[in-house]
Amino acid sequence: MTQEATEEKQTKPLLPFIKVPDNYPDEEAYIWGSKCSDCGSQFLGERLACGKCGGQTFEEVRFSDEGEVYVFSVVHQGVEEPFVGAIVDLKDGPSVRATISGLDPAKVDAGYRDWFGTKVKMYIEKVATDREGNDVIAAKFKVV
Ligand SMILES: [Zn+2]
């Protein structure tokens, strides 16, 4: 099997609220969303109607890559190593469900209350390759 030189691989986000800029990876991917023009509520990704006021006009916003752990749990899932899954409150933004790296799941299990409010920062990681050979990226968070 030969690959055409002109066939360019793309980088695709695993979830739709991750924006991959045209000049990626020179510019890092980021979390984006919609801000209601009427009441200012913010949502991840695209939104057709505001859940708070019913407004239908939105402004596209880029959210901070910093946040705080709101709730989390250690996820034990079949063959995969246990990992820490959390809901992160983005600074000046909505919350996002994500994996937290840099936390030892065993330690989290042992003393979980201490981790609420932990400051975290987003990073982008390649998590898979799709059938066309494109990189699939996801947003994860690490403790700062
Ligand atoms: Zn609204």
DSSP state of 20: -
In angstroms, the first-to-last Cα distance of the chain is 44
Between the CA of 57 and the centroid of ligand 1 the distance, in Å, is 8
pLDDT (tens digit, 9 = 90+) per residue, 62-102? 999 999 999 888 888 766 788 889 999 999 899 999 999 88
| CATH architecture under which domain 11-143 falls | Beta Barrel (2.40)
Query: Kind and range of the H or E element at 109?
Result: helix 105-110
Residue 70 CA to ligand 1 center (angstroms) comes to 23
The pair of three-digit structure tokens given for residue 117, joined into one six-digit string: 């409010």
Alpha carbon of 49 to ligand 1 centroid (Å): 8
Interatomic CA distance for residues 52 and 48, integer angstroms = 12
Q: What is the pLDDT of residue 103?
A: 77
Å from CA of 48 to ligand 1 middle? 11
The answer to whether residues 71 and 83 touch, using CB atoms and an 8 Å cutoff, is no
Residue 71: its pLDDT value, please?
A: 87
Cβ pair 72, 87 in contact under 8 A: yes
Percent of the chain with pLDDT over 70: 90
Give the count of beta carbons closer than 10 Å to the beta carbon of residue 128.
11
pLDDT in tens, 103-128: 788 877 776 566 788 899 999 999 99
Indicate the pTM of the whole model.
0.83
Ion ligand 1, residue ranges at CB < 5 A:
36, 38-39, 41, 50, 52-53, 55
Neighbours of 84 (CB within 10 A): 24
- How remote is the CA of residue 90 from the centroid of ligand 1, in Å? 19
